[in-house]
Amino acid sequence: MTAFPLFTRRRMTAVALAGALLAAGPALAQEVVKIGYSGPLSGGAAQYGKNVLDGMQMAVAELNAAGPEVGGKKVRFEIVALDDKYNPSETAINAQRLVQQHKTAAILVPHSGGIFALQTTNERSNFIVLAYSSVPQITARGNKLTLRIPPEFTSYITPFSKYEMERFGKKVAMIGADHDYGKAWAAAFKPGWEKLGGTVVAENPMSYNRATDFYSGVSKALAEKPDVLFVGGASEPTALVVKQARELGFKGGFIIMDQAKLDEMARVLGGDYKVLEGAIGVMPVSEDSKPANQAFVQRFGKAYPGRIPGSEAQWNYTAVHATAKAMQLAGTTSDPKAIHAKLDAAYKALAADVNPGGVMGVDAKGGTLTRERGAAVKNGKIEPVQTEH
């Protein structure tokens, strides 16, 4: 065997290494695009926060599998998730870390207190707030770098109230959650109920995120003999409030804030809708018969075996797809103003399979345009209730 001189072997090795680096060039040049998340991943609302995050992660997995490009450059999307325990001050701290350390052009927050906290600084710090909350004030503030992902909750108040009044009566006791979102809902619901001729017989908000025993608060409300209970926070504690009301003998109906989902509550309550008879809330994703929606449910079940998606997963899944599409249309991953300007066009450009909720675009204030439906439990089954838009 002929031996190569040392300098020849070194030259061949260098050539081989250069060739390997050249072949790996596209992979090494791939940009990692980070989208931030700050929400509850511990405490009483942890499951709610996880549901949001699961939808986001599912979208990222699909995007990366397709080999996305932005501005002619290959990119890989990544969610950077931080726990804020549903605490707005923690949300603000997380946002600083996400922007400064991870260079996130957009941060998704699934609670109004945290959203409002970020809206005080996001235009100055130059990042988009992807706001998963239906509080109208989120877009009413005129923030130029906010996207409100779900429809405003005010569209539910009149149809939900009319339904419960006709079925059960006009006396309501309000025992919703005491967090910022619950307070916003209550502040809009009370005059809406009274405008329709109803009476509020009790107002006793409770800490859904920190408590599991609601008997005292529920008992106090039931002492006023209401026909209907206004309830709502995350699905699990809301289900416990309903359960304890039934155990205390309440036979009336429930108006459920859109944060809680009827199908998730039913699973907490034993797997069926019997305890929820007479309840009205948003249409569960699992009960929506639209083909694109059912296909999404099946894909989610494959991504997360044994899991059924709620609207937290669905809306935020689509929001991540829309954010990525907006980056592609803007030709940038780092200019929040340019990306935000393309969100309306991005939603309109999405294929139905990644837009199962049927978002039609974004209005001038930064809120999505949708045709969300309500749903009520009657004779142990879900029936659709049309909401007003």
Per-domain residue ranges for the chain? 30-152+290-369, 154-287+374-385
- Domains 30-152+290-369 and 154-287+374-385 agree in fold: yes
What architecture is the 30-152+290-369 domain classified under in CATH? 3-Layer(aba) Sandwich (3.40)
Q: Does 343 have pLDDT greater than 60?
A: yes
* Per-residue pLDDT, 111: 93
Task: Quote the Cα angle for 219-224-226, to 5°.
Answer: 95
Q: At 47, is the pLDDT very low, low, confident or very high (cuts 50, 70, 90)?
A: confident
pLDDT number for residue 388: 57
User: What's the residue count for the chain?
Assistant: 389
Say whether pLDDT at 369 is over 90: yes
- In this prediction the pTM is 0.80
Listed residue (72, 70, 73) closest to 328, CA to CA:
70
Give bridge partners of residue 165 from the DSSP assignment: none
Q: How far apart are CA 201 and CA 293, in angstroms?
A: 39
| % residues pLDDT > 90 (the chain) | 79
Burial class (CB within 10 angstroms; exposed 0-12, middle 13-18, buried 19+) of 8: exposed
Mean pLDDT score of the chain, rounded to an integer?
Answer: 91
The CATH architecture annotation of domain 154-287+374-385 reads 3-Layer(aba) Sandwich (3.40)
Instruction: Give the helix/strand (H/E) hosting 295.
Output: helix 291-303
- pLDDT given at position 12: 41
Mean pLDDT of the region 262-287:
93
